[in-house]
């Protein structure tokens, strides 16, 4: 713990704004990348593709799952008697690009030959396949000072299916929700999720 701030009258502290506040404000909708990885040889990121243009932004969430141990005589939750037993991570976004690839991702589908000339036919599959898991999905946003925030969620599977809504005088979006899965070769104790921020900001918080 760093040196604490001494104050006689805390009610006189009118706000929490500091010189670091502008560096910590996240702006804009960000971009969703498919398979964003680090090339150690070239010392830069590489990726397969941008998932698509979005409308309505994106939402990332990690939810912790707890188990409260019940002990006779305690009628409140007790510090030290709560166990963390899991986490769930989701990435939701609204895609403007209703492309063949994005439709296949959303409905866990595949292309098949169509008897209707000039059309592609996309149909659901009966079974989940290894290729339905995306190696990673990355949300990349920027703070007010231009520095990046990168959230990488590995083994992402679209779990909400296909949802399209058409409205008069409004564009449609493909609403998709991805969930993060642990790799079967891992210890299966923690989710493969990471948040990257510039190193100088990490040092500031130490």
pLDDT one digit per residue (tens) for the chain, 206 residues = 668 888 888 878 888 888 888 888 888 889 999 999 999 999 999 999 999 999 989 999 999 999 999 999 999 999 999 999 899 999 999 999 999 999 999 999 999 888 899 898 999 999 999 999 999 999 999 988 888 999 999 999 999 888 888 877 788 999 999 999 999 999 888 999 999 998 875 455 44
Q: What whole-number distance in Å separates Cα of residue 34 and Cα of residue 43? A: 19
Q: What whole-number distance in Å separates Cα of residue 143 and Cα of residue 26? A: 4
pTM of this structure = 0.85
Radius of gyration of the chain (CA): 22
């Amino acid at each position: 713990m760093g040196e604490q701030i001494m104050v006689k009258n805390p009610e006189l502290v009118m706000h929490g704004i500091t010189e670091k506040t502008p560096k910590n404000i996240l702006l804009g909708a960000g971009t969703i990348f498919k398979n964003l990885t680090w090339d150690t040889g070239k010392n830069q990121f590489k990726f397969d593709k941008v998932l698509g243009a979005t409308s309505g932004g994106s939402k990332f969430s990690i939810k912790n799952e707890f188990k409260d141990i019940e002990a006779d005589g305690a009628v409140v939750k007790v510090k030290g008697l709560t166990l963390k037993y899991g986490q769930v991570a989701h990435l939701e976004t609204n895609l403007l690009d209703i492309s063949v690839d994005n439709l296949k991702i959303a409905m866990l589908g595949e292309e098949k030959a169509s008897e209707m000339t000039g059309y592609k036919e996309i149909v659901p599959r009966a079974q989940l396949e290894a290729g339905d898991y995306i190696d990673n999905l990355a949300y990349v946003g920027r703070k007010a000072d231009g520095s990046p925030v990168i959230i990488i969620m590995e083994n992402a599977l679209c779990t909400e299916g296909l949802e399209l809504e058409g409205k008069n005088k409004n564009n449609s979006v493909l609403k998709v929700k991805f969930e993060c899965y642990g790799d079967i070769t891992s210890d299966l104790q923690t989710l493969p999720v990471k948040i990257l921020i510039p190193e100088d900001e990490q040092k500031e918080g130490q």
